[in-house]
């Protein structure tokens, strides 16, 4: 009977011939079948995954060698990442039935490293949402409590790992869309530095915020996947040129670190008192490991959610203009309509409510007469945050915060209160506004039985120290 | 004073020039014109989900080259902005443009009209991507779109409202087209649309400082049409004002069949393009070193060459301007004078026999079959007095073109076309002429000195052009005077 613990363990078993890639794929396919009610996947590539597993097994039999660092690793993709000849729709009616004609750079690298893509995961439409309730495929359920949301927007990718429906998965994180569902599902969710992983082939939401993130159950697995997919890319002008360290071999470290936290964030009235208590109590554990934990005077907390929503919706309103029914995707076929009506009909019917709301918001903040009051102001906030962040990381190695102010909420609980939904992003959007790497670690369990995480952040391109600390904390 | 003379026109031109890059502005698709519809269209051109732009730096290089030639200030930190609007030929739903921060600021283009030389002041030159092409008449029920052009790099060259009549606009666009072609920035083809011009025209009473209501005229696909449209528009506007009417802000189109303009839309539609910096394209920095290397790789500009030809080489204004009118003639001329330093003679050859040969054959100077070196050897032969210009330009040049031989001296020798500077032979021809024309000789000796030309011509005729003219003149004068 197949069981998955870590990629390293799996590879050992493959080398010892105690398991095969086919066995792994069969195992996950069976689990996916019995977990259909979770609605984690929008599409499962059963036949293709098995075929690839067979080929990988044959290659191993012939050469006695694993074909790459991710040989046979079964990975799921969020429905915003292009995989050639496979459907990609951003969980939107406007792209229903659309087939990717090329591989995202991250996917290209996964495949080259020997990974098996098993399917496409549900998410909030165009990655906009925190509950996975805004999907044209319907909601994804939290496997721990089916009445609760898995988080979003990468809810399907989180549940696919949470419920053991793949070894690891890719999501995208524009304002917490990897870390928040990881927190709600009790797994690891990692967002690297902006530009660490090429965005080519990632359907854009907020271009200067979007970053592919990784879900897993082991830090080493995440480090290995990051190592494979990160780095320079000719197709993305914003990708970083910094060299990619061998993250997977360097995760063990017990180096004492200077850890800071935003006191005002912990004292925020929106924070669940149990989470507050859990996180502050954990400071003692951190100190016991030899780290220092000190408050950081931040002072900008109230500005980050508004700045985030002004800037991301502005970018989104422009990024989503290409979905106009002319070149691909859903189109209104009412005969004889004028061009403007064709656009209106297509986009009104093709986009869901949340997406339309954000397009309208973004259009508004970019409009003549409002631009300076909103967009320019928000950019100023973003610049202040950059400067502040530079100063913080002069004094500290790591910043810690809760990932989310509450545990996974119930379906429908926040749909009528969008402001509350947006405010819940208060701890995650900071890392996207400044581009720093951040991770959510499943360290705690709430009185209500649901998990919650500790969020750790590091300076730009300091993924390694973040992964090293994470490894240490998860081992305790 | 006629009513028309009371007014002054104010004209600004916006010229879009397609840059001569191999590939598009933000992806590797070919930027070539004329391919079958929708064959240069990758996912990036079609704005498929997940695609991103990557700047083709060659476009920036070409824009800088043009900017340097127009004396613009080159912006060191450059951004691209998104201009958001919906149209089927705009795949992304926004055009990537430098609208807010042009790569080249200010500058000017020198023009020459009947009233003299002056500089037309530029506002800016900026880079942007072209849209696709909507074809409305290919299908009865649908508009067809060809996306080959979508993403092709353009520069938009915008003047200040600095021209005052159609002739200036004509001269400006002529000069600009010459410049972009000379610099290999754009092929300058207005019919294919690789150079497109919109004119902003307004009128005001002479002496008035404020600008009048402007009209934008589009669809000017030849230099002639630019002139005709502006002429028509100025007259139309003056007629409106003179008849008590009011000019309204409009976008108009030119109808080349009637040389008139017609309204496309009244007033500028209240478009809010929601410009903002494109987050997919980080700012690109241009260094001093890059600018210098672009400057150093630039050929001398036609105007500078013209000045040099006039002042250093002693060419006439006319010759200098005809030679510098196109790049190929300049190139050929420069190549000739590298081989021989007879600047004026080279110009005469180029604008005389070479030009007429090219005109006959319908070819450009670049296609002239004789190499600059071969032509230079011919010029040298004439300048050395070994062959007369008339023989060289008719028979010798002809022979070289026919045989493909490149050594003028060798060809002339073979064909016995070398001039005779042997005193005895010339003296014999001179004697023969004098003996054959006693009446004329007598007239000459009575004082009709102008007849020397006739005798010269006769010597030339009987010597078949081989008699060295200098020596002939000398001998003729001696003999005619000696028997007096």
CA–CA gap between residue A263 and residue A411 (Å, rounded):
31
Cα distances (Å, whole numbers) of residue A29 to A25, A39, A74, A77, A262: 6, 14, 10, 15, 43
Handedness of CA B380, B382, B385, B391 (dihedral sign): positive
**Judged by CB atoms within 8 Å, which residues 264-283 of B form the interface with A?**
272, 274, 276, 279-282
Q: HEC string of chain A?
A: CCCCCCHHHHHHHHHCCCCCHHHHHHHHHHHHHHCHHHCCEEEECHHHHHHHHHHHHHHHHHHCCCCCCCCCCEEEEECCECCCCCECCCCCHHHCCCECCCCCHHHHHHHHCCCEEEEEECCCHHHCCCCCCCCCCCCCCCCCCCCECCCCCCHHHHHHHHCCCCCEEEEECCCCCCHHHHHHHCCEEEECCCCCECCCCECCCCCCCCCEEEEECCHHHHHHHHHHHECCCCCCCCCCCCCCCCHHHCCCCCCCCEEEEEHHHHCCCCCCHHHHHHHHHHHHHHHHCCCEEEEECCCCHHHHHHHHHHHHHHHHHHHHHHCCCCCCCCCCCCCCCCHHHHHHHHHHHHCCHHHHHHHHHHHHHHCCCCHHHHHHHHHHHHHHHHHHHHHHHHHCCEEEEECCCCCCCECCCCCCCHHHHHHCCCCCHHHHHHCCCEEEEEEEECCCCCEEEEEEEECCCCHHHHHHHHHHHHHC
Q: Is residue A226 part of a domain?
A: yes
With CA atoms as reference, the chain B residue closest to A322 would be B92
CA–CA gap between residue A390 and residue B15 (Å, rounded):
45
CA–CA gap between residue A190 and residue A425 (Å, rounded):
16
CA–CA gap between residue B253 and residue B261 (Å, rounded):
5
Of the candidates B51, B94, B279, which has its C-beta nearest A208's C-beta?
A: B279
Residues of A with catalytic roles: 78, 153, 177
Please judge whether A235 and B145 are an interchain contact, meaning their C-beta atoms are less than 8 angstroms apart: no
CA distance A375 to chain B (A): 9
Which pLDDT value is given to residue B287? 96
Name which of A318, A355, A383 to mutate to probe chain B: the one with the most chain B Cβ atoms within 10 A of its Cβ: A318
Q: Which domains does chain B have, with CATH numbers?
A: 4-289 (no CATH), 299-414 (no CATH), 423-480 (1.10.10.410)
CA distance B101 to chain A (A): 16
Which pLDDT value is given to residue B268? 56
Of the candidates B52, B84, B91, which has its C-beta nearest A318's C-beta?
A: B84
Of the candidates A100, A343, A366, which has its C-beta nearest B86's C-beta?
A: A343
Which pLDDT value is given to residue B267? 62
Chain A residue numbers with beta carbons less than 8 Å from the beta carbon of B282 are 237-238
Please judge whether A237 and B274 are an interchain contact, meaning their C-beta atoms are less than 8 angstroms apart: no
Chain B residue numbers with beta carbons less than 8 Å from the beta carbon of A236 are 52, 54
Q: Report the relative pairing of strands B94-97 and B81-84 from DSSP bridges.
A: antiparallel
Specify the number of domains making up chain A. Answer: 1
Please judge whether B50 and A98 are an interchain contact, meaning their C-beta atoms are less than 8 angstroms apart: no
Q: Is residue A304 part of a domain?
A: no
Q: Is residue A195 part of a domain?
A: yes
CB contacts < 8 Å between A and B, how many?
96
Which pLDDT value is given to residue A211? 98
Q: Give the model confidence (pLDDT) of A287-329 as tens digits.
A: 999 999 999 999 999 999 999 999 999 999 999 999 999 999 9
Chain A residue numbers with beta carbons less than 8 Å from the beta carbon of B88 are 324, 326, 339
- Per-residue pLDDT band for A32 (boundaries 50, 70, 90) equals very high
CA distance B280 to chain A (A): 6
Which pLDDT value is given to residue B270? 66
Q: Is residue A287 part of a domain?
A: no
CA distance A182 to chain B (A): 24
With CA atoms as reference, the chain B residue closest to A82 would be B50
Please judge whether B47 and A235 are an interchain contact, meaning their C-beta atoms are less than 8 angstroms apart: no
Q: Give the orientation angle of helix B452-462 with respect to helix B423-436, to 10 degrees.
A: 120
CA–CA gap between residue B268 and residue A105 (Å, rounded):
43
Q: Is residue A295 part of a domain?
A: no
Please judge whether B274 and A363 are an interchain contact, meaning their C-beta atoms are less than 8 angstroms apart: yes
- Per-residue pLDDT band for A85 (boundaries 50, 70, 90) equals very high
CA–CA gap between residue B100 and residue B88 (Å, rounded):
24
Name which of B24, B47, B50, B80 to mutate to probe chain A: the one with the most chain A Cβ atoms within 10 A of its Cβ: B50
Please judge whether A204 and B92 are an interchain contact, meaning their C-beta atoms are less than 8 angstroms apart: no
Which pLDDT value is given to residue B430? 87
Name which of B46, B136, B274, B284 to mutate to probe chain A: the one with the most chain A Cβ atoms within 10 A of its Cβ: B274
CA distance A77 to chain B (A): 14
Which pLDDT value is given to residue B269? 60
CA distance A95 to chain B (A): 9
Chain A residue numbers with beta carbons less than 8 Å from the beta carbon of B78 are none
Structural domain boundaries enclosing A238: 7-249
Q: Is residue A429 part of a domain?
A: no
Chain B residue numbers with beta carbons less than 8 Å from the beta carbon of A363 are 274
Which pLDDT value is given to residue B328? 87
Please judge whether A322 and B47 are an interchain contact, meaning their C-beta atoms are less than 8 angstroms apart: yes
pLDDT digit string (tens) for chain B, length 484 residues:
577 889 999 999 999 999 999 999 999 999 999 899 999 999 999 999 999 999 999 999 999 999 999 999 999 999 999 999 999 999 999 999 998 789 999 999 999 899 998 999 999 999 999 999 999 888 888 889 999 999 999 999 999 999 999 999 999 999 999 999 999 999 999 988 999 999 999 999 999 999 999 999 997 999 999 999 999 999 999 999 999 999 999 999 999 899 999 998 776 566 899 999 999 999 999 999 999 999 999 988 888 899 999 999 999 999 998 999 888 899 999 999 999 889 999 999 999 999 999 999 988 888 899 999 999 998 988 888 788 888 888 888 888 988 888 888 888 888 877 876 677 778 888 888 888 888 888 888 888 888 888 888 888 888 877 788 888 888 888 888 875 4
CA–CA gap between residue B262 and residue B437 (Å, rounded):
74
Please judge whether B46 and A328 are an interchain contact, meaning their C-beta atoms are less than 8 angstroms apart: yes
Average pLDDT on A448-457 reads: 98
Which pLDDT value is given to residue B170? 96
ipTM of the complex as predicted: 0.96
Name which of A320, A324, A328, A329 to mutate to probe chain B: the one with the most chain B Cβ atoms within 10 A of its Cβ: A324
Which pLDDT value is given to residue B483? 54
Q: Give the model confidence (pLDDT) of A391-425 as tens digits.
A: 999 999 999 999 999 999 999 888 777 777 788 89
Name which of A81, A96, A326, A364 to mutate to probe chain B: the one with the most chain B Cβ atoms within 10 A of its Cβ: A326
Q: State the Cα torsion B193-B195-B198-B203 to the nearest 10°.
A: -140
Chain B residue numbers with beta carbons less than 8 Å from the beta carbon of A368 are 272, 274
Please judge whether A322 and B91 are an interchain contact, meaning their C-beta atoms are less than 8 angstroms apart: yes
With CA atoms as reference, the chain A residue closest to B28 would be A235
Whichever domain contains A90, its CATH number is: 3.90.1300.10
**Judged by CB atoms within 8 Å, which residues 94-123 of B form the interface with A?**
94
**DSSP secondary structure code for residue B136 in this structure:** S
Which pLDDT value is given to residue B95? 97
Q: Is residue A142 part of a domain?
A: yes
Q: Give the model confidence (pLDDT) of A193-235 as tens digits.
A: 999 999 999 999 999 999 999 999 999 999 999 999 999 999 9
Q: Is residue A202 part of a domain?
A: yes
Residue B54 touches chain A, beta carbons under 8 Å? yes
């Amino acid at each position: 009977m197949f069981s998955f613990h870590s990629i390293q363990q799996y590879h050992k078993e493959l080398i010892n011939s105690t398991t095969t890639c086919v066995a792994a794929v069969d195992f996950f396919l069976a689990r996916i079948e019995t977990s259909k009610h979770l609605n984690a996947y929008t599409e499962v590539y059963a036949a293709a995954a098995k075929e690839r597993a067979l080929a990988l097994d044959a290659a191993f039999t012939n050469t006695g060698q694993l074909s790459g660092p991710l040989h046979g690793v079964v990975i799921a993709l969020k429905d915003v990442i292009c995989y050639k000849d496979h459907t990609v729709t951003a969980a939107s009616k406007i792209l229903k039935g659309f087939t990717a004609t090329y591989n995202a750079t991250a996917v290209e690298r996964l495949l080259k490293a020997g990974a098996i893509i098993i399917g496409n995961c549900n998410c909030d439409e165009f990655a906009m949402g925190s509950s996975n309730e805004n999907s044209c495929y319907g909601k994804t359920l939290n496997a721990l409590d089916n009445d609760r949301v898995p988080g979003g927007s990468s809810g399907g990718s989180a549940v696919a790992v949470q419920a053991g429906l793949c070894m690891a998965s890719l999501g995208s994180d524009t304002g917490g869309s990897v870390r928040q569902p990881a927190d709600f599902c009790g797994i690891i969710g990692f967002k690297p530095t902006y530009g660490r992983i090429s965005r080519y082939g990632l359907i854009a939401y907020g271009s200067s915020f979007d970053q592919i993130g990784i879900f897993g159950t082991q830090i080493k697995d995440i480090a290995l996947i990051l190592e494979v997919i990160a780095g320079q890319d000719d197709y993305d002008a914003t990708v970083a040129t910094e060299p990619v360290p061998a993250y997977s071999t360097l995760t063990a470290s017990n180096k004492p670190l200077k850890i800071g936290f935003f006191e005002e964030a912990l004292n925020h009235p929106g924070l669940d008192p149990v989470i507050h208590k859990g996180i502050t109590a954990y400071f003692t554990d951190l100190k016991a490991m030899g780290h220092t934990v000190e408050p950081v005077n931040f002072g900008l907390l109230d500005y980050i959610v508004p700045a985030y929503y002004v800037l991301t919706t502005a970018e989104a309103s422009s990024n989503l203009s290409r979905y106009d029914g002319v070149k691909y995707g859903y189109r209104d076929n009412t005969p004889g309509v004028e061009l403007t009506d064709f656009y209106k009909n297509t986009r009104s019917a093709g986009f869901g409510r949340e997406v339309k709301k954000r397009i309208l918001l973004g259009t508004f903040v970019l409009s003549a007469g409002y631009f300076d009051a909103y967009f320019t102001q928000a950019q100023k906030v973003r610049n202040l945050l950059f400067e502040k962040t530079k100063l913080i990381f002069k004094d500290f190695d790591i910043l810690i915060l809760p990932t989310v102010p509450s545990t996974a909420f119930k379906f429908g609980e926040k749909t009528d209160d969008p402001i509350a939904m947006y405010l819940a992003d208060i701890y995650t959007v900071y890392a996207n506004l400044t581009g720093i790497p951040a991770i959510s670690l499943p360290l705690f369990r709430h009185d209500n039985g649901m998990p919650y995480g500790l969020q750790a952040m590091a300076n730009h391109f300091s993924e390694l120290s973040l992964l090293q600390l994470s490894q240490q904390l998860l081992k305790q | 004073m006629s009513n028309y003379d009371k007014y002054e026109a104010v004209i600004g031109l916006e010229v879009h020039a397609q840059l001569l890059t191999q590939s598009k502005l933000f992806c590797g698709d070919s930027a070539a014109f004329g391919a079958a519809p929708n064959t240069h269209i990758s996912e990036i051109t079609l704005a498929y989900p997940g695609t991103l732009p990557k700047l083709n730096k060659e476009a920036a290089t070409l824009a800088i080259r043009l900017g340097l030639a127009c004396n613009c200030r080159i912006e060191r930190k450059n951004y691209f902005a998104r201009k958001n609007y919906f149209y089927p030929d705009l795949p992304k739903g926004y055009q990537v443009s430098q609208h807010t921060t042009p790569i080249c600021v200010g500058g000017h283009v020198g023009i020459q009209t009947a009233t003299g030389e002056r500089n037309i002041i530029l506002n800016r030159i900026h880079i942007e991507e072209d849209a696709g092409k909507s074809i409305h008449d290919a299908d009865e029920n649908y508009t067809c779109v060809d996306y080959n052009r979508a993403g092709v790099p353009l520069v938009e060259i915008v003047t200040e409202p600095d021209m005052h009549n159609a002739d200036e606009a004509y001269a400006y666009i002529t000069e600009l087209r010459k410049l972009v072609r000379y610099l290999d920035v754009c092929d300058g083809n207005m019919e294919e649309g690789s150079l497109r011009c919109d004119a902003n025209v307004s009128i005001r009473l002479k002496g008035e400082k404020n600008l009048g209501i402007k009209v934008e005229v589009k669809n000017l696909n030849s230099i002639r049409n630019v002139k005709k449209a502006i002429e028509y528009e100025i007259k139309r506007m003056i007629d409106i004002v003179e008849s008590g009417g009011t000019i309204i802000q409009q976008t108009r189109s030119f109808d080349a069949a009637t040389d008139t303009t017609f309204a496309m839309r009244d007033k500028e539609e209240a478009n809010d393009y929601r410009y903002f910096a494109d987050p997919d394209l980080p700012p690109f920095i241009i260094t001093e070193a890059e600018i210098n290397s672009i400057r150093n790789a630039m050929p001398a500009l036609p105007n500078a060459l013209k000045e040099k030809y006039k002042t250093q080489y002693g060419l006439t204004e006319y010759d200098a301007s005809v030679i510098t009118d196109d790049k190929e003639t300049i190139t050929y001329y420069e190549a000739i004078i590298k081989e021989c330093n007879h600047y004026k003679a080279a110009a005469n050859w180029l604008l005389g026999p070479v030009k007429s040969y090219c005109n006959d054959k319908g070819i450009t100077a670049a296609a002239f079959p004789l190499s600059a070196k071969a032509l230079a050897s011919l010029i040298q032969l004439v300048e050395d007095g070994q062959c007369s210009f008339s023989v060289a330009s008719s028979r010798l040049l002809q022979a070289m073109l026919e045989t493909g031989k490149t050594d003028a001296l060798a060809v002339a020798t073979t064909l016995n076309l070398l001039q005779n500077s042997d005193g005895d032979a010339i003296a014999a021809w001179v004697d023969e002429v004098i003996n054959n024309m006693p009446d004329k000789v007598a007239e000459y000796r009575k004082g009709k000195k102008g007849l020397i030309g006739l005798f010269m011509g006769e010597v030339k005729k009987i010597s078949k052009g081989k008699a060295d003219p200098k020596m002939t003149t000398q001998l003729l004068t001696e003999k005619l005077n000696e028997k007096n």
